[in-house]
Amino acid sequence: MLSVEVCYALADVQTLIAVELPAGSTVRQAIEASGILEKHPGIDLSTQKVGVYGKVKPLDAPLADHDRVEIYRPLKVDPKMARQRRVDKTRREGSIEGRKWLPKDSR
């Protein structure tokens, strides 16, 4: 038997469910056995990524004892765009972080 955890985190609530599965079970079987799909009906396994300990895995990936299956939420903002927005905001506030340094006489 395998002892695994299935987790899903929203902005305001986290769900972690421990399940016991037969050896050779897959990520999909762990998710279905946990009942997390009934607790969070907004989860769509056909579009959302899943993984084990932060590494994206397919639904048919086999599990090992003490694995943590994670269901990832879709990103609201591309991380590169979010960083660029932060840099732009910092620049508007007067910082020169991220700007190419030029000597005074060449500006």
Is residue 25 domain-resident? yes
Residue 10 lies in a domain: yes
Q: Considering the chain, what is the average pLDDT of its residues?
A: 86
- For residue 13, the one-letter residue type is V
Residue 95 lies in a domain: no
Question: Is residue 44 included in any domain, yes or no?
Answer: yes
State percent of the chain over pLDDT 90.
54
74-83: pLDDT as tens digits? 877 788 888 8
Stronger pLDDT, 6 or 105, i.e. the higher one: 6
Does residue 97 sit within a domain?
A: no
The amino acid present at 88, given as its one-letter code, is: D
Number of domains within the chain: 1
Establish if 93 belongs to a structural domain: no
More confident residue, 93 or 49: 49
For 105, the token pair is 């006489």
CATH value at residue 67: 3.10.20.30
Whole-number pLDDT of residue 70: 96
Residue 15 lies in a domain: yes
3-state secondary structure the chain: CEEEEEEEECCCCEEEEEEEECCCCEHHHHHHHHCHHHHCCCCCCCCCCEEECCEEECCCCECCCCCEEEECCCCCCCHHHHHHHHHHHHHHCCCCCCCCCCCHHHC
- Kindly state the average pLDDT of the residues 28-33: 94
Tell me how many degrees the CA angle 21-27-31 measures, rounded to the nearest 5.
Answer: 75
User: Which domain range does residue 40 map to?
Assistant: 2-71
pLDDT given for residue 95 in this prediction: 62
- Is the pLDDT assigned to residue 30 strictly greater than 80? yes
